[in-house]
């Protein structure tokens, strides 16, 4: 597709259940990012992928959060044993990778997660 695609657009789950959020980046973009947008915390960085590896996981809020990327393309963010404080919009972004310049990150429309 032309842009970053995220699915599902909305997810409602019960506390304690696991959820998987998917991100399909722009074709050819080697860098992929996950951010979380919540009312209390604003927009926060979660994790960054360069290809299939994740050199920076510093933003993951707890060990219940994990992410993987396969084939240098699609990424999945998994939240285990969801808690109500996990309710937020999860945004994915992708960019071309160039260590010398800061490339523009292009964002998807996000997945709105509601934990009941």
Partner 1 sequence: AQKVTQAQTEISVVEKEDVTLDCVYETRDTTYYLFWYKQPPSGELVFLIRRNSFDEQNEISGRYSWNFQKSTSSFNFTITASQVVDSAVYFCALSEAWNAGNMLTFGGGTRLMVKP
Residues in contact with partner 1 by the rule CB under 8 A: 3, 31, 33, 35, 42-45, 48, 50, 55-56, 59, 89, 91, 93, 95, 99, 102-110, 112
For residue 35, which of 90, 76, 103, 73 has the smallest C-alpha distance?
A: 90
In the bound state with partner 1, the residue whose beta carbon lies nearer, of 14 and 28, is 28
In the bound state with partner 1, the residue whose beta carbon lies nearer, of 80 and 98, is 98
Backbone phi, psi, residue 86, to 5°? -80, -10
In angstroms, what is the minimal distance from the CB of 35 to partner 1? Answer: 8
For residue 26, which of 4, 55, 6 has the smallest C-alpha distance?
A: 4
In the bound state with partner 1, the residue whose beta carbon lies nearer, of 91 and 115, is 91
In angstroms, what is the minimal distance from the CB of 79 to partner 1? Answer: 19
In angstroms, what is the minimal distance from the CB of 53 to partner 1? Answer: 11
- Tallying the residues shown for the chain, one arrives at 116
Contact 20, 105 (CB under 8 A): no
In the bound state with partner 1, the residue whose beta carbon lies nearer, of 16 and 30, is 30
CB atoms within 10 A of CB 61: 14
In angstroms, what is the minimal distance from the CB of 50 to partner 1? Answer: 8
CB atoms within 10 A of CB 94: 27
């Amino acid at each position: 597709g032309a842009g970053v695609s995220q699915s599902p657009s909305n997810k409602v789950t019960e506390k304690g259940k696991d959820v998987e959020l998917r991100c399909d980046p722009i074709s050819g973009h080697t860098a992929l990012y996950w951010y979380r947008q919540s009312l209390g915390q604003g927009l926060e960085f979660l994790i960054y992928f360069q290809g299939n590896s994740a050199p920076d996981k510093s933003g993951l809020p707890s060990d219940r959060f994990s992410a993987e990327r396969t084939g240098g393309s699609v990424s999945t963010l998994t939240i285990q044993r969801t808690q109500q404080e996990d309710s937020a919009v999860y945004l994915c972004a992708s960019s071309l990778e160039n260590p010398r310049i800061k490339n523009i990150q292009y964002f998807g429309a996000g997945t709105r997660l509601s934990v009941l």
